[in-house]
């Protein structure tokens, strides 16, 4: 729903840009699964090149820096259109969810990793699945951005509205 008015094509493009960082992280997680599907891997090869180029800026402690910059410069800046601020906040929240899932899976792997089947389940199935889920969320949001609509993702959308400072 576009409740703040119409959006122009440049506004839609600016709204889709923050998802690039989140997609690059999701691709790194989903890589083991995607490489098993040659057709899909062939299509996504340019995105993998971008993901590996952005990896130093999106992983670990340094991965927080671009998102803090986006949060301060875009999400909390009331001079920026709400549509752009909302989508930037949603991208940040998807990335936070991805990071928390990675942390939880890493802790589980640390505790139960010595058991072969559990370690294989985590590294071979759960981590790539988390990456695919993040890619799905980003794809869903970008599809709505292209249409000039707000992507609604339950709790993430509610939090995104709250982060922009506008409420509902």
Give the tens place of pLDDT for each residue, 149-166.
999 988 888 888 888 876
Buried b (16+ CB within 10 A) or exposed e, 42-65: eebeebbeebeebbeebeeeebee
44 and 34 Cβ atoms separated by less than 8 Å: yes
**pTM as predicted:** 0.86
Closest to 124 (Cα-Cα) out of 105, 100, 99: 105
CA distance 41 to 39: 5
State what percent of residues in the chain have pLDDT above 70: 91
Q: Is the pLDDT of residue 1 over 50?
A: no
Q: Is 8 in a helix, a strand, or coil?
A: coil
99-to-89, 105, 125, 129, 130 alpha-carbon distances in Å: 15, 10, 17, 13, 10
Output the CA angle 41-55-128, nearest 5 degrees.
45
pLDDT recorded at residue 167: 55
User: Is the pLDDT reported for residue 85 higher than 90?
Assistant: yes
More confident residue, 126 or 59: 126
Q: Where are the alpha helices (DSSP H) in 18-70?
A: 19-34, 38-58, 64-70
Mean pLDDT, residues 129-146 taken together: 93
Q: Is the pLDDT of residue 4 over 60?
A: no
* CB-count exposure of residue 88 (10 Å: 0-12, 13-18, 19+): buried
């Amino acid at each position: 729903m576009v409740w703040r008015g119409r959006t122009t094509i440049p506004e839609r493009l600016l709204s889709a840009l923050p998802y690039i960082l989140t997609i690059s992280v999701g691709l790194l997680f989903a890589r083991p699964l995607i490489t098993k599907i040659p057709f899909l891997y062939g299509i996504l090869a340019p995105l993998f090149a971008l993901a590996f180029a952005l990896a130093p800026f999106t992983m670990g402690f340094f991965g927080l820096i671009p998102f803090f910059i986006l949060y301060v410069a875009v999400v909390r800046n009331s001079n920026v259109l709400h549509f752009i601020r909302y989508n930037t906040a949603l991208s940040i929240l998807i990335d936070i969810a991805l990071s928390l899932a990675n942390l939880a899976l890493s802790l589980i792997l640390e505790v139960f990793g010595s058991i072969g089947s559990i370690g294989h389940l985590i590294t071979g199935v759960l981590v790539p699945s988390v990456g695919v889920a993040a890619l799905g969320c980003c794809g869903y949001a970008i599809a709505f951005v292209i249409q000039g609509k707000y992507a609604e993702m339950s709790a993430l959308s509610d939090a995104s509205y709250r982060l922009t400072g506008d409420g509902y």
